[in-house]
Amino acid sequence: MQKMMSSTVSCRNNGLKLEHFLKAELHLSKKEISRAKFLENGICVNGKRRRIDTLLKAGDQVDILLETGDKTSGSLTVSEKELSVLYEDEDVIVLDKPAGISVHPAGRKDTDTLANRLAYYLRDKKEDSVIRIFGRLDRDTSGVVLAVKNRAAAARLELQRKNGTLRKTYLAITEGIPDPPAGVIRLPIGADPQNRKQMCIAVYGKKAVTSYETLTADNGCSLVRLSLKTGRTHQIRVHMAAIGCPLLQDPIYGNGTASASNNTVPDLKRTALHARSIRFQQPFTGQELLIKALVPTDMLLHFSI
């Protein structure tokens, strides 16, 4: 697939080399520019193919073709079950993942994941493409998931993730009340040497930073808003457990006082974590987007959000 990007040269870029304009104004990588050079009419100025050392004049129209992908998700089994779409354009799609399904298949028999549902949705629209999902959520976790439809958009969003432009906010119900009620947890996280499927606080681990804020508390539980500066496996669950406030119903990092036994939240049957919102810039237009997922009923039963 190919995507056309266009821009008009402003007065401040008069005399600038085409290559520098593509990098500075269209935020294209060296690799993207190199690919476009070999496409027919891949890089044009005022409708004519030009070399990247061309000097531009104010008012020039610059067009560049981007290779956005070279394969599809044709090998992925589709699932026709419901898919909740929160936002969509030609480059990105934001989904509302329900608790109880995985983001990606874990094996051949795992055929009803978010990726399988998205594959069906895109094929039904004749938009089959590689399934690229930014930021996996645990099976129990609900909420916003960002997927990208093409390689060029993926590269730009990866840069946003690294520089902090792409940000997610989470809501969690914890066992216990954080003290202090708001703060930043800076504890390295690594694989648990006793159990490879678990993570733990470890001096040999990778840097991990979580910001949290207690919104309300009741009956020994708290509703906490969290954001991540890093993206380690199970980061929120490990960090909150480390300060003595594990997530409610967490089967791995919890303290064993599950809500079903003490009637705190009798209808909550999973780890109480929800990806509430995501903020990022549309990868080509730069428009700032804030997409929110409604808090599911099982978490609303205890706190009014």
Catalytic residues: 138
Please give the C-alpha separations between residue 118 and each of 97, 128, 156, 190, in angstroms, as whole numbers. 11, 10, 21, 31
Return the DSSP state at 247. Answer: B
Which residues neighbour 276 within 8 Å (Cβ) at sequence distance 6 or greater?
143, 144, 169, 170, 171, 225, 292, 293, 295
Angstrom distance (rounded) from CA 235 to CA 297: 24
Neighbours of 27 (CB within 10 A): 15
Angstrom distance (rounded) from CA 169 to CA 151: 25
Q: Count how many Cα atoms sit within 13 Å of the Cα of residue 167 in the half-sphere of its side chain.
A: 13
